[in-house]
Structure 1
Amino acid sequence: VHSLIAAKKVVSAYTPTYGGAAEAVMKMAFGNFLGFEYSADLTLDEIFGYSYGSFILELADGVECTCGAKVLGEIVAEPVLKYGGKSLCLGKTYETYAGKLEGVYPVHVKGEDEKVETIGSPSDKYTRVRTTEHFAKPRVLIPAFPGTNCEFDTAKALASAGFVPEIVVVRNLTSAAVAESVDYFAKAVKNSQVIFVPGGFSGGDEPDGSGKFITAFFRNGAIKEATNEMLKTRLGLMCGICNGFQAIIKLGLVPYGEIIDTDENAPTLTFNTIGRHQSRIVRTRIASNKSPWLAETNVGDVYNVAISHGEGRFIANDDVLKQIIANGQVATQYVDADGNPTMDIDYNPNGSVMAIEGITSPDGRVLGKMGHTERYNPGLYANVPGCYDMKIFAAAKKYFE
């Protein structure tokens, strides 16, 4: 099996579970809604019987099976499952499969057909901010809180772009350890050009919501002062992805550009409309590239990105929405297969208002987004075609050159 895959003779593969080959083939067919016709010499026991430890391989055109495996059948263009002269409509089969537990484990929510405006704010409409200091090797602080799980991916991506990343572990076993972490981080900010708050589940997303531990840390007087000074005086950059985005929006860093005391009128991120965690590849469209982080993109470009969160739904009142749209602060929107912003949960996994995935500070130097752009590496996600490299790290590096 490994040799066949290495030789690119296998298009797709699956391991049968409790439903045997029948369940495995059905799920493989759901992937792109191509049908399947079983070989006539197979028995129902062979199709539905347990086959733990085996593999189902879809071979490339012209490749013959020479490893002694049993041929299950052939892929057909018509979206049906065929056996013994009978057929099942693949669409109806999927509806039955997905709808069985819809009442307790929903896959759809209300309002998915709501129309969404396509936001477009080209860079020539705004003046992109420039730094007054230049660094060959800009330093980046990456705070790792209890529950953070993306610090190493983030550090690798930044280092590959030419930054010098430093992961700072925030220790909280004792009050003394917390004080030491605060003191070290506040001093380190003064010698850094970028703060990058990575994803994860800091503090277990407790109590009652995400990012609270991170926001408490950054609201410490010394850290707040150092962070605001880095951004406002030294014109540094800051980014928060996923859990990091949850924190910086609650701090006011997006969309306001500095750490402030937010009120009920401030935008925030809350629980997904589906009521549970979502993990998948989504498509996002560049709505504004005024941010230095997005300087290598063009408005209208569409990028695939991995998401994994339970609280990613962006919400804001009408006044805030009008302001951030007019100011070009909406960075990215979730879009469907045709590149259109949508509330369809298959593409907008959390139900964000206006399908907003990421926003920036007024000058664009602080970016917050839900998608894990830092996780991309060449060779990953080979089974989901699309462009993944948004070049946010390369763009940020050029900002300091």
Structure 2
Amino acid sequence: MTIAVIRFGGSNCDRDAVQALESIGVDAELVWHEDGLPAEVEGIVLPGGFSYGDYLRAGAMAARSPIMDEVRAAADDGTPVLGICNGAQIGSESSLTPGAFTTNESARFQCEHVHLRVENADTPWTAAYEEGDVIELPIAHGEGRFEVDDDRLEQLEADDRIVFRYCDAEGNVTPEANPNGSKHSVAGVTGDRGDHVAVLMPHPERATLEDLGNTDGAGVLEGFRA
């Protein structure tokens, strides 16, 4: 299995994603966006970073790269796609997933560890956990606040497409545990094409190595095996 980690100008978590995938035994390769997807791609990561310096809006310019037409086509064919942080912004700007990620409620860049509650364990990205499990992942973003209209949010809730919410260490979803003001504390959602497409703002690839003292994110990346 080979996973394509797409590198845009300004990506800075692409190597992290490759290393994290390889640490769990999944082959991964960096793909420069101008080169297009490999012929035999079996999964796609849209990594974190600051593609194109976050000009216009975070992820807006990368979303208009020609490779994203290939990513959408691959997603339509059932190829798993995971967007992380800036990749989540690219995913939402590309209509891979609903909603949008905008400026944090604090209007500050925030870099810290947060807790997430698994809301739906019946997806490739959460199958390693149980519903209600609490995991700890780092965040590093200035535009991570998830926004979506109320009717769309109600449908996402009804369809179990919210995969993670921000919570405290005991699993309580509270305003204090919501680091960026995301609507209903949403930290990750799946796409309209199916649950093989998902985005999340926290960084699972930064929580996969025993040497760093936290492997909570490995289960998310295991979704590529599923």
TM-score (norm 2): 0.93
Name which of 196, 199, 202 aligns with 1:371.
Answer: 202
Matched, 1:192 2:41: yes
Q: Decide whether aligned partners of structure 1 residues 147 and 361 sit closer, same or farther in structure 2, where only a CA change above 3 A counts.
A: same
Distance 1:373 1:143 in 2: 17
Aligned residues: 224
Q: Which residue is 2:79 aligned to?
A: 236
Name which of 169, 182, 189 aligns with 1:359.
Answer: 189
CA-based RMSD = 1.7
Is the Cα contact below 8 Å between 2:206 and 2:217 reproduced in 1? no
Runs of at least 5 residues in structure 2 that lack an aligned partner in the other structure: none
- String of CA shifts for 1:17-40, please: whole Å, max 9, x gaps: xxxxxxxxxxxxxxxxxxxxxxxx
Q: Which residue is 2:173 aligned to?
A: 341
Name which of 91, 103, 106 aligns with 1:248.
Answer: 91
Equivalent residue letter for 2:64? A
Distance 2:15 2:59 in 1: 19
Equivalent residue letter for 2:201? M
Q: Decide whether aligned partners of structure 1 residues 389 and 248 sit closer, same or farther in structure 2, where only a CA change above 3 A counts.
A: closer
Distance 2:130 2:202 in 1: 18
Distance 1:239 1:205 in 2: 19
- String of CA shifts for 1:297-341, please: whole Å, max 9, x gaps: 111000000000000000111111111111111010000233111
Is the Cα contact below 8 Å between 1:146 and 1:202 reproduced in 2? yes
Q: Which residue is 1:285 aligned to?
A: 117
Is the Cα contact below 8 Å between 1:289 and 1:331 reproduced in 2? yes
Distance 1:392 1:336 in 2: 19
Distance 1:229 1:213 in 2: 19
Question: Which of the pair has more CA radius of gyration?
Answer: 1
Is the Cα contact below 8 Å between 1:297 and 1:390 reproduced in 2? no
Distance 2:218 2:174 in 1: 21
Single out whichever of 154-163 and 387-396 deviates more from structure 2: 387-396
Equivalent residue letter for 1:185? G
Runs of at least 5 residues in structure 1 that lack an aligned partner in the other structure: 1-137, 171-180, 256-266
Q: Which residue is 1:202 aligned to?
A: 51
Q: Which residue is 2:143 aligned to?
A: 311
Equivalent residue letter for 2:223? A
Q: Which residue is 1:394 aligned to?
A: 222
Matched, 1:350 2:180: yes
Is the Cα contact below 8 Å between 2:68 and 2:94 reproduced in 1? no
Structure 2 counterpart SS, 1:358: strand
- String of CA shifts for 1:142-182, please: whole Å, max 9, x gaps: 11112111111100111223322110234xxxxxxxxxx2x
Equivalent residue letter for 2:55? E
Is the Cα contact below 8 Å between 1:290 and 1:328 reproduced in 2? no
Q: Quick one: higher RCO (CA 8 Å, sep 6+), 1 or 2? A: 2
Which is richer in strand?
2
Equivalent residue letter for 2:53? G
Q: Which residue is 2:22 aligned to?
A: 159
Equivalent residue letter for 1:193? E
Distance 1:390 1:158 in 2: 8
Q: Which residue is 2:134 aligned to?
A: 302
